[in-house]
Amino acid sequence: MIDLNAKKKLNLDDFDLSSGDEMKGRSLWVDARIRYAKNKMASICLFVLILICIFSIFGNFFAAFSIEEIDWAVLGMTYEKGYPSLETGHYFGTDEMGRDLYARVVQGSRISLAVGFIGAIISTFVGTIYGAISGYIGGRVDGLMMRIVDILIAIPFMFVLILFLVVFGRSILMIFVGIALFSWLGMARVARGQTMTLKNKEFIEAARATGVSQFTIVIRHIVPNLLGIVIVYGSLMIPGFIMAESFISFLGLGVQEPNTSWGALISEGAGTMTYGTIWQLAFPLFFFTVTMFCFYFIGDGLRDAFDPKDR
Amino acid sequence: MLNLIVRRVAIAIPTLLIILVISFLLMHAAPGGPFTSEKPLPPQVLANIEAKYGLDQPIYKQMINYTVGILTEFDFGPSFKYKDRTVNEIIAQGFPVTMTYGVWSFIVAVFFGIPLGLIAALRQNTKTDYFAVSFSITASVLPNFVMAPLLILVFTLWLGLLPGGGWNDGSWQNLVLPVIALSTSYTAELTRLTRASLLEVLRSNYIRTARAKGLPERTVILRHALKPAMLPVITYLGPMFVGLITGSFIIDSIFSTGGMGYFFVNSALNRDYSVMLGITLLAGGLVVLFNLIVDLAYGWLDPQIRY
């Protein structure tokens, strides 16, 4: 009698345990995380990218000089004395004006990464809401909203961005505004397409049947279900923003001195490489390229992790 | 087909109008006109100059005059900075240069990128495939403003093989480096797209059917797989064209080739509004035209699309 009870209890425990496991495994996010972690390259790249972010945030605590400070001992003799060295405190050497390149690369990374992340956040936010509304309402409103996107997307945005910077003055803020103005278009299309397939699902119908307002349905039920695809697309857009900013700064139309960014640093380095001061090009180029690499593989990993086709 | 053309043009016209209005208004909202200099001009002189360029008229009239001038005589007006030159002359000087290396880059990207992608897909998971994939990843993280200095460093400074700048009436030595710098990232993107697209097509049911009925592999690829595999690639050609035009900013500023990009950046730094406006509109028109061509090619390649 006692034996039997014990056996029964044991079985029940087993059952609870296994069902608990199953519950855990079903969440989209946990699932995605497990799949992402399995992708070695993507995991390594995420780690490297975090290191670069830490470098850009805390790197200046280890700098012996500020970004503007001119080292008079080096000025005019950059090739002879401005090379990278731990003794002089110029870990990455100096630039042509005798300023510490380490401090400037830290500052440049900070601006370039900020452009990438803020651009992604703004475009994701605006694009998702716009696309979700357009796709959910449908009909004539959808047609009109998407025609607007069609028209704006055909504008060669680099030209208009440069116009913007010339007219309103060159500043990093204007670059944010300019990039934000054009970057949400692609996201809006993606979000709209996904919304169209979502809006006829049962749970949306259920929400409608219980009298939830349209706005709440979009925000509470549609948008959270778009997040997976939006995150993937957003992560793929970040390198584009960083490149756009670097492109403009390279031309001398972006960040203003004494601030700098990867593009501006690469431009300076490229201008002086004929003097043999190759480190001025090498360090910013290294950080730029490695970051681009990382974003490439992270985006790839995220796509595999969230791609419903794979399931 | 006619329907499609009409619809695309119906999108194109508001696009161009928006470019025109935005750039025109931006220019006029700018603090400091084109004639503000460090030494202020006497008011009478300023008024005379502004009357000469029509800047004293209300803004909508200026815009209408400008548009009419472009539409009837293809006249983009005078440059505000170089008093003796018109925007047309500047475009006539820069445009052929940009087009020369732009077209060459286009050809290089298409003729290397697409075949490489096709071969990689047909020999998936072989050494050729790995080479193609690693090439396309490496090249896609190296934009033209990174490629250009690196190329100069290697081929001009270290090897001394090719000139690091100048145009020299488009002689081939001066063309090689700009074309490589401009085309590499597009070659990479085309390789990636073509490979992914052909792989997907090869996995589809109708290809299995074609193989099952005993067609030789050659026919399966050439007759059935190639055309649909090209669809995403064709779509990419439109944005690629935009990239080639804007890429000219970098090429011109590094290689001093003197194309449109040189004049655009220069006029941006000098606040030469009329030149900026002219070049922006011309680029916008070209982009719209090119997107139209891509759409037409799409309709021809994909019989499923009905307009």
At residue B278, φ and ψ (nearest 5 deg) are -60, -45
Per-residue pLDDT at A50: 93
- Per the CB < 8 Å rule, is A154 touching B269? no
Span A134-158, average pLDDT: 84
pLDDT for B43:
76
Instruction: Collect all residues of chain B within an 8 Å Cβ-Cβ radius of residue A158.
Output: 246, 249
Tell which residue, A164, A286, A308, A297, has the closest CA to residue A225: A308
Residue A219 at interface with chain B, using a CB cutoff of 8 Å = no
pLDDT in tens, A101-133: 888 888 889 989 998 888 888 888 899 999 999
How many Å is the maximal CA-CA distance in chain A? 96
Q: Among B31-45, B162-176, B271-285, B292-306, which range has the highest average pLDDT?
A: B271-285
B268 vs A contacts (CB less than 8 Å): 162-163, 165-166, 253
Render the burial of B246-274: b for 16+ CB within 10 Å, e for the rest.
bbbbbbbbbbebbbbbbbbbbbbebbbbb
- For residue B23, list chain A residues with Cβ-Cβ distance below 8 A: 160, 163
Per-residue pLDDT for B53 more than 50?
Answer: yes
**Residues from B in contact with A at Cβ < 8 Å:** 11-12, 14-15, 18-19, 22-23, 26-27, 29-30, 137, 140-143, 145-146, 148-150, 152-153, 157, 242, 245-246, 249-250, 253-254, 264-265, 268-269, 271, 276, 279-280, 283-284, 287-288, 291
Mutate to test the interface with A, among B246, B256, B260, B293 (most CBs of A within 10 A): B246
In percent, the amount of chain B with pLDDT more than 90 equals 6
A2: pLDDT strictly greater than 70:
no
Counting residues of chain A whose pLDDT is more than 90, the rounded percentage is 5
Residue of A45, A155, A277, A303 for testing the chain B interface, max B β-carbons within 10 Å: A155
Specify the pTM: 0.82
Q: What is the mean pLDDT of residues B161-184?
A: 80
pLDDT band for position B110 (50/70/90)? very high
Residue A8 in this model has a pLDDT that exceeds 50: no
Answer whether A251 sits within 8 Å of B250, measured CB to CB: yes
pLDDT tops 60 at residue A26: no
- Cα A99 to Cα A79: distance, rounded to the nearest angstrom: 13
Q: Do A156 and B140 touch (CB under 8 A)?
A: no
- For residue B34, what pLDDT is reported? 60
> So what's the pLDDT on residue B307?
47
ipTM of the complex: 0.79
Confidence of residue B38 (pLDDT cuts 50, 70, 90): low
Q: What is the pLDDT of residues A246-288, one digit of tens each?
A: 888 888 888 887 888 888 888 888 878 777 778 888 888 899 9
Question: Is the per-residue pLDDT at A213 higher than 50?
Answer: yes
Instruction: Tell me which chain A residues have a C-beta less than 8 angstroms from the C-beta of B250.
Output: 247, 250-251
Instruction: List the structure tokens of A230.
Output: 């939006």
Q: Is the pLDDT of residue A14 over 70?
A: no
For residue A15, pLDDT beyond 50 = no
- For B26, other C-beta atoms within 10 Å of its C-beta total 19
Residue B290 has pLDDT above 90, yes or no: no
The pLDDT of residue B47: 77
Residue A303 scores a pLDDT above 70: yes
- For position A48, what pLDDT does the model report? 92
- Asked if residues B231 and B298 have their Cβ atoms less than 8 Å apart, the reply is yes
Instruction: Kindly give, in sequence order, each residue whose CB lies less than 8 Å from that of residue B142, ignoring residues fewer than 6 positions away.
Output: A289, B150, B184, B185
CA distance readout (Å), A259 to A92, A108, B48, B171, B216:
17, 7, 41, 39, 62
Q: Which residue has the higher pLDDT, B168 or B186?
A: B186
- CB atoms A293 and B26 under 8 Å: no
pLDDT digits (tens, 9 = 90+) for A220-246: 888 888 888 888 888 888 888 888 888
Mean pLDDT score, B277-282: 84
Q: What is the pLDDT of residues A62-99, one digit of tens each?
A: 777 777 777 777 676 766 676 777 777 777 877 777 78
In tens, the pLDDT along A179-203 reads 888 888 888 988 888 888 888 888 8
Q: Range with the lowest mean pLDDT among A297-301, B73-77, B116-120, B138-142? A: B73-77
A299 and B CB contact within 8 Å: no
The pLDDT assigned to A7 comes to 45
Cβ(A164)–Cβ(B26) below 8 Å:
yes
List B189's β-bridge partners, or say none: none
Contacts with A32 (C-beta within 8 Å, 6 or more apart), sequence order: A228, A302, A305, A306
Section A282-308 average pLDDT = 85
Asked if the model's pLDDT at residue A24 lies above 70, the reply is no
List CB contacts (< 8 A) between A156 and chain B.
Answer: 242, 245-246, 280, 283-284, 287
Residue A70 DSSP one-character state: B
Tens of pLDDT along B90-107? 888 888 888 888 889 999
- pLDDT at residue B304 in the model: 64
State residue B116's pLDDT score: 92
The mean pLDDT value for B24-48 works out to 70
With an 8 Å Cβ cutoff, is A144 touching chain B?
no
The CA angle A233-A238-A242, to the nearest 5 degrees, is 155
